[in-house]
Copies of this chain bind each other. A is one copy, B any other.
Amino acid sequence: MTVMNMIQALNSALDVMLERDPDTLIFGEDAGYFGGVFRVTDGLQKKHGLKRCFDTPIAEGGIIATAIGMGAYGLRPIAEIQFVDYILPAFDQLVSEAARLRYRSGGEFHAPITVRAPYGGGIFGGQTHSQSPEAIFAHVTGLKTVIPSNPHDAKGLLIASIEDNDPVIFLEPKRLYNGPFDGRHGEKLKTWAGDPLAEVPEGYYTVPLGKASVVREGADVTILAYGTMVHVARAGIEDSGIDAELIDLRSIVPLDIETITASVAKTGRCVIVHEASRFGGFGGELSALVQERCFWALKSPIERVAGWDTPYPHAFEWDYFPGPGRIAAALARVMEN
């Protein structure tokens, strides 16, 4: 066990896989010699060679197309998209090709690719370095979407994603790279040091896709969250003083529906939290599922706490970001019944 921040844990996952499986290779904009603008691939080219970890042209569609072709050949490529905001030029490749290849070819070809991308806000990145588009991936049949919230899970989930034979979108909450962030933006920056989830085994291990983690047990209300919002929700629980059960979904496809319904069946209340704008966000799906499966257990309306239905606004980051205060208020509201 070593203490790792999220960047180091992801780097370690990649290092382990390059070592174990000669069919893995990594590429992306600035991912080679330089090691990525967030340093996640730092040192990998030097250690494993130019052909295992290299730079690409600035063409996200081309990066994904290349990965799919390599996957069809039999490799297990890991592509980096510099910011998930810039994955949109590759959207057709992801939806019409990666997600559909196995199905339409009757299983003759498939795309065992992993697409890593820094994700989410909280770093004053403005409109195009802050977005959370997980909902548009979740709706695509054939894609898996994984969002870790801590170094331990990040490494284990990334290895599981790489080994998975389906295309996986692996979203890395960039605000968590260097330390946990609970939404209290005025406070001193925290590092991962001292956090039990920053104790990361050095070698190979996996955290399975589709298995949520109950981060905090509670009796009165279930909070569903993922990524940065797991930490913000914890702060919201603290602020509210309410005995909430906090579930970190870890992956939204596959979704751990059993853990979710078991918890809401117990608590009878549910608050869903995400950074993405609210309308049409993944919270809608979660709310619908919980309502369909736990209707008779529900004591009060399911609440969603999410980004506003505006683009991500630079100067208003903290007005936009769904912080602990808004979560605490939602918790208080659902406890009224």
Contacts and interface: CB of A to CB of B under 8 A. Distances in A.
Interface in A243-287: 253, 276-277, 279-287
Interface of A: 61, 85, 88-89, 91-92, 95-96, 99-100, 103-104, 127-128, 133, 135-136, 138-142, 253, 276-277, 279-289, 291-292, 295, 298, 300-304, 309-311
Contacts of A279: 138-139, 141, 253, 285
A-B residue pairs, 10 tightest by C-beta: A139-B280, A287-B288, A88-B92, A284-B284, A284-B285, A295-B301, A138-B280, A284-B288, A91-B91, A89-B92
A198 to B, nearest CB: 32
A187 to B, nearest CB: 29
Nearest to A252: B280
Contacts of A133: 139
- Stoichiometry, as copies per complex, reads 2
Given A96-B128, A139-B276, 4 more contacts: A133-B139, A135-B136, A139-B279, A284-B284
A141 B279 CA distance: 8
Contact of A135 (B96, B280, B311): B280
Contact of A100 (B89, B104, B311): B311
23 contacts: A89-B92, A91-B92, A100-B311, A104-B311, A133-B139, A135-B135, A136-B136, A136-B280, A138-B280, A139-B276, A139-B281, A280-B282, A283-B288, A284-B284, A284-B286, A284-B288, A287-B287, A288-B288, A288-B291, A288-B304, A291-B291, A292-B304, A295-B301
